[in-house]
Amino acid sequence: MAIKDPELQHLQDSSAFADEVSEGRLVTEQMLLNVGPQHPATHGVFRLLATIDGERIVRAEPVVGYMHRGYEKLVEQRDYRQITNLISRMDWLSGINNELPLALALEKLMEIEVPPRAQYLRVALAEMNRILNHLMFFQSFAAELGAITPTFYAFREREDIQYAMESVTGGRMHFGFFRPGGLKEDVPKGFIAMALASIRKVIERLPDYEDLLTGNEIFKQRTINIGLLEKEVAYAYGVSGPIGRGSDIDMDVRRDEPYLVYDEFDFDVCTAPHGDCFDRFWVLLHEIIESAKIVEQALEALPPGPILGKVPRVVEAPKGEVYIRTENPLGELGFYLVSDGGKRPYRIKIRTPSFSNVSALPHVLRDTLVADMIAILGSFFFVLGDVDR
Amino acid sequence: MVRDRLTAEDALERVTGALGERVVEARLNHGQVDLVVEADHLVEVVTILRDDIALRCRFFTFLSAIDRSTYNFDDGGGAGEDKKEKKVGTIEVLVHLYSPEKVFHVNIHVLLDFEKPVCPSITGVFVGAEWHEREAAEMFGIGFPGHPNLVKLYLSEDFEGHPLLKSFKLPARSFVKDWPGAKDPDEAAAGGR
Amino acid sequence: MDIDLTAWQILIVKLLIILTVVPVGALIGGYVLHKEMAHMQHRLGPMYAGGWHGWAQTLADGIKFAYKEDIIPASADRRVFSMAPAVIFVPVLLLFLVIPIDRTLIIEDLDVGLFYLLAIGSVGAIGVLMAGWSSANKYALIGALRSAGQLIAYELPIVLSAAAVAMLAGSLSLVTIVEAQDWPFILWPPGIGLALFMLFILGAMAEMSLPPFDMPVAESELITGPFTEYTGMRFIFGFFFAETAHMIAFAGIGTTLFLGGYKPIVPWGPLEVIPGIIWFFVKTAFMIFLLLWIRFSFPRLREDQLQKFAWKFLIPLSLALILATGAWILYGPGG
């Protein structure tokens, strides 16, 4: 039997081996387990090199870049209007939220004023997309732990909301709807009623889903005190969004530095103190309720008026730099836009939430069990497009 | 938790007060503090920003780089006026920090020599900089002495070149096609796409 | 009518019965699984294969698998790899030998029927280990080790609860056990009967690696655990058929031991007219429904939690129940 571990080489000789075992010590070797890049539990092509000792992970190192498309280079060679559709495909579960920082950055640099109707509608659509995103992660987390049924309930709820968004934008996942200055077009008749009805259905059924999982003893055993992420570590890695708030980081761009018209709405920011999988999941579920509140307030107070401000014929940002950040469903999405005049950006640094969140994984995965690794990966709510850009 | 929110001017004052001689330049840009710092002082500056009681910039937003080699510095845009000679043809490392309690942002620009860009690693101060520095290293060719594991993050091991440098041309887009649709709202209204 | 058959001919007839009934039962069971799961998840399930509500879905799946290429990984242990599915499937077939469908309809009425069932039921664990180890795949190995630990741990609740039933009935022969049962079946002895039934169900679910005990085949982690490298007919026989047939077998055993087998639910005149076979199928169908229902509703237990649950809770409980059953027999009503 060939022993690969250098520390145990002295046991190659079988008599030494017998001595070692008979003295009451069990000889074990660490195994290098490759989780991914193709694996059902990692949402997408994500590879985790785990060194395991039995069922315990000694060290886990994520290997990313399988989906790297070079966004930061691609946007340097595109017109500002062409970029909108491109960047929508980063975090593909929050399509419309990805278009927002670019529109906001251009509006700031070009000093364009956006009419209130457009602002309210932007808020409503962005929050509806947030609900879609959170429902998706709700079901994927449950499915990874073995509860396959919530998947179908979540997709049933998503269907209605996606239908409403399709009636406005024409898309179910990638929208291409936000323009610098406002929206592409106004909403059709009946949209408000449809949107409100779909949101209310979600809220009605949410307590059931919560009970189904958070009340379940097995679920609690699999998630409480698993995958602890301490607050200071989270700050150092730049962890934001539901994951950060699950570690007691009380940060929400919508409340701290309101963009669009978020300062006119009444909503709470949910945080949870422990930083384990259960807390992150709990924050996710409760954010759905808060988003629904915002959508209701936005659509009920929707003012009439134009949906596009005064935008010059050619979209050319003046010289300057600005960092605009928004609260993407998964965390803080920021665009550092460097413009030197001209129709194309000089450089956009895209700060994606999942990149920072996933970089905290090695810390969280130390000394956990293999089965817990799946729960932790699921509770980290990341999208590969966001990690790899 | 927002403890005591600072206005942008207050933030600038506190930052320059705490850092003193270590910054080359400090100003406000769209409500955010913009600093230009020498590479040697970077680690110190970042540590002070993080630990100073009045500042507490504990949230590490990102670290990236900008290749200014073809930037049009003509009318004094960007971070810093009147530094045209020093800045033309440089690469700069950009660190962005945020203070969750005081709600203010700090952009730190570190100007590096274009031929051999080297910037000390801040992984000792913010652990999360690890991946960001790896990406900046492979995309721009910047060295980060002090980094624990400076291997490629996104690109394959045998990839040659540094993609985000302006000198790296994308083969498919060596010329840029004009926007195919209507170029302004009038054209669009008249029936163009 | 007197049919005179030699012992050999009887044997062949019995084998043919098992070899036809069990796969057909597994096909129907698989269809029921798809449909029940679908309706509980707000969707329809198979609708196209065969025309009416997709009744031929599992049959079509089986035929498809027969066409698949038989791949054995290069570094796998060929002989062990090929034999593992057989070691898993054949014992499941043999379980059906002693389950009484009606008073006289039983393939072989062994005097030690229950003992035979429990013994044969445990052979499958070796097959799982063989499959996982010979696959030369780390995930399969993890799955096999988890499975082995789980199967050993959960044998005991099944064995002990079955033993308690045998104590109450006074025999190991399954027909005698059914005859000894009377309305109200699992509610008697009070408390003990229900507890034994629960133990049996939990043990059975773990034996078959059904959620919430499906760590070994945790789909989102280990793909199919020990069977990851299997394709085609080996996969179908070792995994799918075995699981479904096993479920039917356990449902049948559960019916026999706890629900009164082929006896009518209530000893009420008009119900006695219905033949025992129908009662048996109704009760078995109910057991299958119950097992599947639990299957779709719960997330899975982590392996160490599963083991803790077995060793620290279920086994002490089953030992306590054996004592309670003994006390009941000696001092309780009925003597």
Q: Tell me whether B107 touches chain A (CB under 8 Å).
A: yes
**Low-confidence winner among A91-105, A313-327, A341-355, B164-178 (lowest mean pLDDT):** B164-178
**Domains of chain B with CATH codes:** 8-189 (3.30.460.80)
pLDDT at A229 over 50: yes
Across the interface, of C214, C219, C302, the residue whose CB is closest to A369 is: C302
Contact C303 A374 (CB under 8 A): no
Question: If DSSP codes are grouped into helix, strand and coil, which group holds residue A326?
Answer: strand
CA A30 – CA A25 distance, rounded (Å): 15
Q: Where are the domains of chain A?
A: 6-63, 71-388
pLDDT at A353 over 80: yes
B window 17-76, beta carbon within 8 A of A: 29-30, 32, 58-62, 64, 66-67, 71-72, 75
Q: What confidence score (pLDDT) does residue B85 get?
A: 47
Q: What confidence score (pLDDT) does residue B184 get?
A: 64
pLDDT band at A281 (very low <50, low <70, confident <90, very high): very high
DSSP C60: H
* Number of H-type helices and E-type strands within chain A: 16, 9
List of chain B residues with pLDDT < 70? 1, 73-89, 172-193
Helices (H), B76-146: 84-87, 129-140
C window 191-220, beta carbon within 8 A of A: 211-212, 214-215, 218-220
Q: Tell me whether C305 touches chain A (CB under 8 Å).
A: yes
For residue C75, count CB atoms less than 10 angstroms from its CB and return exposed for 0-12, middle for 13-18, buried for 19 or more.
exposed
Q: Tell me whether B103 touches chain A (CB under 8 Å).
A: yes
Closest-CA distance of chain C to residue A148, Å: 7
- Domain A71-388, what fold? Cytochrome-c3 Hydrogenase; chain B (1.10.645)
Collect all residues of chain A within an 8 Å Cβ-Cβ radius of residue B60: 235-238, 356
CA A14 – CA A91 distance, rounded (Å): 55
Q: Tell me whether C296 touches chain A (CB under 8 Å).
A: yes
Averaged over successive runs of 10 residues, the pLDDT of chain C (335 residues) comes to 70 83 84 85 82 83 84 84 87 85 76 86 85 81 81 88 86 82 70 85 85 68 72 80 84 86 74 78 87 82 83 90 86 67
Q: What confidence score (pLDDT) does residue C1 get?
A: 47
pLDDT at A347 over 50: yes
Q: Tell me whether A157 touches chain C (CB under 8 Å).
A: no
Collect all residues of chain A within an 8 Å Cβ-Cβ radius of residue C299: 142, 145-147, 213, 216, 218-219, 222
Question: If DSSP codes are grouped into helix, strand and coil, which group holds residue A310?
Answer: coil
Closest-CA distance of chain B to residue A297, Å: 25
CA B142 – CA B121 distance, rounded (Å): 11
pTM, rounded to two decimals? 0.82
| Neighboring chains of A (3 or more beta-carbon pairs < 8 A) | B, C
Contact A79 B64 (CB under 8 A): no
Collect all residues of chain A within an 8 Å Cβ-Cβ radius of residue C300: 145-146, 218, 222
Q: Tell me whether A49 touches chain C (CB under 8 Å).
A: no
pLDDT at A381 over 70: yes
pLDDT in tens, C8-21: 888 888 888 888 88
Q: Is C188 left (phi over 0), alpha (psi -120 to 50) or beta?
A: beta
Question: If DSSP codes are grouped into helix, strand and coil, which group holds residue C207?
Answer: helix
Rounded average pLDDT over A339-359: 90
CA A143 – CA C218 distance, rounded (Å): 10
Rounded average pLDDT over A175-181: 88
A98-116 b/e (C-beta count within 10 Å ≥ 16 → b): bbbbbbbbbbbbbebebbb
Q: What confidence score (pLDDT) does residue A373 get?
A: 84
Give the sign of the dihedral formed by CA A120, CA A125, CA A128, CA A133: negative
Best mutation site among A35, A57, A149 for testing chain C: the one with the most C CBs within 10 Å? A149
Structure tokens at A241: 């969004």
| CB C264, CB C279: distance < 8 Å | yes
DSSP string spanning A151-164?
HHHHHHHHHHHHHH
pLDDT band at A298 (very low <50, low <70, confident <90, very high): very high
pLDDT at A28 over 70: no
pLDDT band at A14 (very low <50, low <70, confident <90, very high): low
Cβ atoms within 10 Å of A349's Cβ, excluding its own: 21
Q: Tell me whether C42 touches chain A (CB under 8 Å).
A: yes
| CB A123, CB A294: distance < 8 Å | yes
CA-to-CA separations, C200 to C157, C194, C258, in angstroms, rounded:
7, 10, 9
A149 to chain C: nearest residue by CA?
C41
